[in-house]
A and B are shown apart, each in its own frame.
Chain A
Amino acid sequence: MKSRSTLTNRACAGYAREAVLASSLILLVLMFALTAFVTRQYHKRVHELGDQWFAKGDAELQGGGADAAIADYRNGLAFSPDNSVFQFHLAQALAASGHTGEAEGYLRSLLSASPGNGEINLTLARVAVRRSAMADALRYYHAAIYGVWEDDPIAQRWRVRRELCEYLLGRGAASQAEAEIIALANNTPKDQVAQIDTAANLLLRAQVWSRAEDEYRLALAGDRRDQDALAGAGAAAFQLGRYSEAIGFFTRLPQRGRSSGDISEMLATSRAVESGSPFLRGLSPADKAGRLRRALADSEARLSDCVQKSAGVAVPGQEPAGSDPQALLTEIRKAQGALKRASLARSLTLMDADMNLVFEAESAAARRCGPPSGAADRALVLIGREAGGDRGGASP
C-alpha cells in the first residue's frame, strides 16, 4: 500500500514537473524572440547614432572645425569602439587640431592592424611633418607610396609622391627631392597634361632644367596652348642658355601671360642676348665686331656709373684679384681703342678676351651695386658667362 502511494505521489510530481518544464520551454522561446527583437532594435539604433555622429564630424572637419569634429568622432566611437574608419577620421581631426601625440597613438594602433595601409601611412607622415621629424616623415611617405590603396592606387601613389617632393623642396633637401621628382615624372601618365605640368614644375624648382624642358615639351605635345608648359619650357630653355627657344616659347604665350614679372624679364633678357651676343652663329664679321663694341661700351658705362654712385661706400666682401674697377675701366677703354684701330679680322681674334673683360666689368659692378637691372646688362653677364668668364658675383 505504502509503495503504491509513493509511486502515485512521484507520478503526480513528475507530471507537474513535465507541465512546468513544458511551460518553461514555451516561455523560453517567447523570451528568446523578445530579446532578439529588443537587441536588434538596440543595435540598429546604436549603429544609426554612430553614423550620425560620424557624419556630423565629417561635416565639421570639412568646415574647418577640427575641435568640434573631434568631439563628434569621439561620440561616434562610443557607439562603435572598434570602427577603424571612425578611429582614422578622429586621428585626422586630432592631427588637424594639433593634438599630434594622440593622433599618432590612434594611427599607430590602426597601423598595427593594417601595416600596409597607404592612407594611414600618409596621415602619419603628415603628423611627422607637423612635428618636424623628417626621418619619420620620409619613412611613412615611402610606406604610403608603396602601401595599399583602395581607390585608384596609381593616382593616390602619385599624389603622395608629389606631396613628398613638395615637402623635400620646402625643406631644402634638393638632392633627395631630385630623385623623388624624377621618379614622379617617370610615373606620370603620358596623357595627363596637368600631372606632367606638375612634375615639370617640380623639376624646374629642383633646377633639373633639361628634364624639366623635356616634360614641358611632352605636355605641349598634348596641349599646344598649355600656358604653364609654355612658361615652364621657356624658363627651362632660358636656364639652359637656349635663348631663341626661350623667346619662341614665351612669345607663344598670350600677352597677359607674357607680361608677368619673371617671364617678361626672361623674355627681355633673351631678346637682349639674341640682339647683343657676338657669338651667335650666322652673324657677319661686321655684325660681330659691332656687337663687341656695343658690349664694351655698355659695360664701361655701367661700371663707371656704378663706381661714381658707390664712391666712399664699402664693398661687401673682398674684391677678387684683378677686379679693381678703375683698372677694369682702364682696360675696357684700352680695348675700345684697340678695337677702333684694329682691322675687322683682328677684331674677331680679340672677341673672347674682350667679352671676358665685359663679364668681369659686369661682375665687379654687380658686387658693388647689386645685380643688373637692365635687360642689356643681364644679357651681357649671360653672354660673358657663355664665353667662359663666370667667376661669380653676377647673376642675371
Chain B
Amino acid sequence: MTHAAPQGSPAAVPAAAEPRSIFARSRTLYREWMHRLVAPHGDQFFLVLAVLIGIFSGLAVVCFRVAIEWTHLLLLGSSLTPSPLRVLLVPSLCGIGIALLVIHAFPRARGSGVNQTKTAVYISNGYVPFETVIGKFITCALAIGSGQSLGPEDPSLQMGAGIASVMGRRLRLSQEKLRLIAPVGAAAGLAAAFNAPVSAVLFVIEEVIGTWSAGALGAIVLAAVSSVVTMRWFLGSESLFRVPPSELSHPAELLAYAVLGVVGGVFALLFLKWIAAARPRLQRLPPRAQYLMPAAAGLLVGAIGIWLPQVMGAGYPIIDQALHGEYVWRVLLILAVLKILATGFSFLSGTPGGMFAPTLFIGAMLGGAVGGVEHHFFPGLTSTVGTFALVGMGTFFAGFLRTPITSVFMVVEVSGNYSMIVPVMISTLIAYLISRQFQKVPLFDMLTRQDGVILPSIEERREHVSLVVEDAMRADAAIIFDPDEPAAAAAQRAGAAPESPLLLRPRLGEWRLLDREALQRLAAMDEPSAPRMVSEATSKGPLPLIFPDEPLDEVLRWAGDWPVLPVVSRADLGRLEGVLSLADVLHAFRKAAAE
C-alpha cells in the first residue's frame, strides 16, 4: 500500500528504502551517527576518545598494580619480614635483569616517566611508542615488586600517555590533537594509580602541560574520571590510605604545622641537591657500569631492608600505619632518612620507577616524626601524630616535586577532610618556598636538562610576569576630537602639539586616526557662512581597541599595522587611557629585558 514517489524527488530514497528492510535503515542511521562522531575536528569525538583512553589506562593500571603485587609475592614471599638472604639477593639479582631489559629491549622505559612524557609532549608531538608502555610495565613491575624503593604512579602516568598516543596515531589525529592526547592519557594513568582524579588532573596541568587549556581540560577530566571508575571496578573504591578523622582545634596549632613546613622544605631540598649532584656523575660512568647500577642499588636497598623492611617497595601499608600513629617519632625519623637513601639509590641507578610513592612515604614519616617531637614538648597539642603524617605527605611533595596546588588538593582528596586545608596550605607553602629559594630548577626540569633537553619550565612560566599594555602606553599623548568640532578650532589645537597623534571619536567605541595635513586643508577651506567640521577630514580606521590590562605580546599583532593604537577603558569605551605604538612596545620589552 505504498505510494510511488516521483523519480528524483526528495522523498524517493526513504520511500524506496522503507519497504527494503529494517537493517538497511539501521545501517544508514549508524553511518550517519558514526560520521558525526568521528568527524576529524569534532570536540565530541575527542571527548569520546578521552573516555576510551581513560578506560584503557584504568585497565592497564589495574594489571600493573596486580603485576607488582604478584611479583612481590613470588620474589619476596607473603611475610612482612622475609629472610635476610632473600631481602638481600632478590632486589640485586632482579636489578641485573632490569638493567639488561632497559639497555637492550626498552631503553625508553628508564626513569620515572613524568619528564619523559613531558619531553614527548614538547618535542615529538606527544609521540610515545607502544614498546615504552610494555617496557615500563615489565621493568617497573619487576623493580617495585622486587623491593626497589620506587612507586607505580609515575610509570602509570607514562603508560597512560603511551596508550593515548597509540590511539591518537591509529585514529590519525591532527598534530595539535596528538600533542593534547598524551597529557589526557597521562592524567588517566596517574588518576588510576593514585585513586585520586582531582590530584591527577591538577598534576598534569601543573607539571606536564602547564596551562589551563579549555580544549584539553574537559578531555583530561573525563579520562581521569573514567580511569578511576575502571580501576575501582576491579580493585575496590577504598582510597590508598585509611585516614583517621582529624581537625584543627585551635589556630595556634598552625605554628606546629609551620615548623613541619620548615623541616619538610629542608629535607626536600637536601634530597633534591643530592640527586642534582649525584646523577650527572653516575651518568658519566662507563657504559659497562650501567649493567651493574640497578643491582648495586638493589643490594643497598636490601641491606637497609634487612633492618627495616618497611623502606622496600612503594610502602603504602607503612604510610597507612604512620597515619594511624603506629610508630614512635624516633622510628618515623629513621624511616624517613633511610627511605631518602633507598629511593636515592634506586632512582639514581636508572631503575625504572616513580618518585610519587617514596615522596609521600618520606613526607608521612617526617610529618609523623615532627608531630611526635612536638607532642613531646607540647602535650596539649590536639592534632594527632597521624594528622601530622598526613600534612607531611603534602609538605614534602610540594617541596620535592614543586607542585604546590597538587600537593594541597592531594591531601584533601586522600583524607576526604577539608578541615585540614589551612594547615596543609601553610606547611606546603613554606616547604615550597624553602625548596625554590635554594634550588632554582625543579626536579623534573632538572632531570631533562641533565639529559640534554631543555623543556619550558612550568614553574618559571607560572612565575613569569608578562608585560601588559599599561606598562608601555603613553598616557595623555593624543589629542581627541569629536566629529562635530569646527575644523578651524581643531586645527588650532592640533598645531599646538605637533608631535601628538590626532584621534577622532565618531561614536562610542569607535576611534579613528585623523590625518594632520587633511585637517589643516579642511581648516583652510573653512568659511564663516559654511563652517567645516572635523568629521569631514580624512581619517583611517576604525582602529582596533586595546585595553590597559592586555598582554603586550598579544597587542603586537596590530601594533605594526597602525601608527598608534588607542588604549581605552573597559568600563567606558569612549574614554582614552593612552596610546600605544610599535616603538612603545619595543621600548617596554627592551626596558624589561634590561631590568
Contact = CB atoms under 8 A, between A and B. Distances in A.
B79 interface: yes
B443 interface: no
Interface in A59-89: 71, 74-75, 78-79, 81-82
12 contacts: A14-B40, A16-B171, A17-B38, A17-B172, A28-B55, A31-B60, A32-B59, A35-B59, A35-B63, A35-B234, A39-B66, A81-B242
Contacts of A74: 80
Contacts of B62: 35, 38-39
Interface stretch (A18-26, A317-325, A328-336): A18-26
B103 interface: no
B481 interface: no
Given A21-B38, A45-B73, 8 more contacts: A13-B38, A13-B172, A34-B63, A35-B62, A39-B235, A52-B78, A81-B317, A102-B326
A243 interface: no
Given A17-B172, A81-B317, A28 B78 contact: no
Interface of A: 10, 13-14, 16-18, 20-21, 24, 28, 31-32, 34-36, 38-39, 42, 45-46, 49, 52-53, 71, 74-75, 78-79, 81-82, 102, 105, 109
A78 B80 contact: yes
B368 to A, nearest CB: 15
B56 interface: yes
Contact of B34 (A10, A14, A39, A52): A14
A111 B73 CA distance: 32
A14 B38 contact: yes
Top 3 A-B pairs ranked by shortest CB distance? A17-B38, A39-B234, A42-B66
A277 to B, nearest CB: 68
B52 interface: yes
Nearest to A10: B40
A9 B38 CA distance: 13
A372 B317 CA distance: 70
B445 interface: no
A22 B444 CA distance: 38
B66 A24 contact: no
B320 interface: yes
Contact of A75 (B79, B234, B238, B325): B79
Interface in B167-188: 167, 170-172
Contacts of A45: 70, 73
Contacts of A10: 39-40
| Among A39, A75, A78, residue most surrounded by chain B Cβ atoms (within 10 Å) | A39
B232 to A, nearest CB: 12
Contacts of A102: 326
Contact of B66 (A16, A18, A38, A78): A38
Contacts of A38: 62-63, 66
A71 B62 CA distance: 29
B131 interface: no
A13 B69 contact: no
B78 A71 contact: no
A78 B81 contact: no
Contacts, number: 79
B235 A49 contact: no
A24 B167 contact: yes
B440 interface: no
A74 B318 CA distance: 12
Given A38-B63, A81-B242, A75 B78 contact: yes
Given A17-B171, A35-B63, A28 B38 contact: no
A31 B167 CA distance: 15
Contacts of B242: 81-82
A15 to B, nearest CB: 9
A28 B73 CA distance: 28
Given A38-B63, A39-B62, A81-B242, A24 B52 contact: yes
Contacts of B52: 24, 28
A330 to B, nearest CB: 73
Interface of B: 34-35, 38-40, 45, 52, 55-56, 59-60, 62-63, 66, 69-70, 73, 78-81, 167, 170-172, 234-235, 238, 242, 317, 320, 324-326
A78 B62 CA distance: 19
Nearest to A21: B38
Contacts of A81: 242, 317, 320
A20 B78 contact: no
A49 B69 CA distance: 13
Nearest to A22: B34
A324 B48 CA distance: 112
B66 A31 contact: no
B170 A20 contact: yes
A53 B78 contact: yes
Contact of A14 (B35, B60, B234, B326): B35
Contacts of A78: 78, 80, 317
A147 B234 CA distance: 37
A14 B31 CA distance: 10
Contacts of B172: 13, 16-17
B562 to A, nearest CB: 36
A45 B60 CA distance: 20
B40 A13 contact: yes
A31 B56 contact: yes
Nearest to B60: A31
A87 B301 CA distance: 30
A37 to B, nearest CB: 10
A38 B235 CA distance: 11
B567 to A, nearest CB: 43
Contacts of B320: 81
Contacts of B70: 42, 45
Contacts of A82: 238, 242
A31 B325 CA distance: 40
A77 B70 CA distance: 17
Nearest to A19: B170
Contacts of A13: 38, 40, 172
B51 to A, nearest CB: 11
Contacts of B60: 31
| Among A13, A17, A32, residue most surrounded by chain B Cβ atoms (within 10 Å) | A17
A42 B69 contact: yes
B56 A28 contact: yes
Contacts of B56: 24, 28, 31
B40 A75 contact: no
| Among A16, A38, A74, residue most surrounded by chain B Cβ atoms (within 10 Å) | A38
A34 B59 CA distance: 9
A105 B328 CA distance: 14
Contacts of A14: 34-35, 38-40
Contacts of A105: 325-326
B71 to A, nearest CB: 12
B38 A75 contact: no
Contact of B81 (A18, A39, A71): A71
A223 to B, nearest CB: 52
A71 B59 CA distance: 34
Contacts of B81: 71
Contacts of A79: 78
A261 to B, nearest CB: 52
Contacts of A52: 78
A71 to B, nearest CB: 7
A45 B66 CA distance: 11
Contacts of B69: 42, 46
Given A13-B172, A53-B78, A18 B317 contact: no
B570 to A, nearest CB: 41
B163 to A, nearest CB: 10
B34 A20 contact: no
Given A28-B55, A28-B56, A75 B80 contact: yes
A88 B489 CA distance: 98
A245 B171 CA distance: 104
A81 B321 CA distance: 10
Nearest to A24: B52
Contacts of A53: 78
Nearest to B61: A35
Contacts of B324: 109
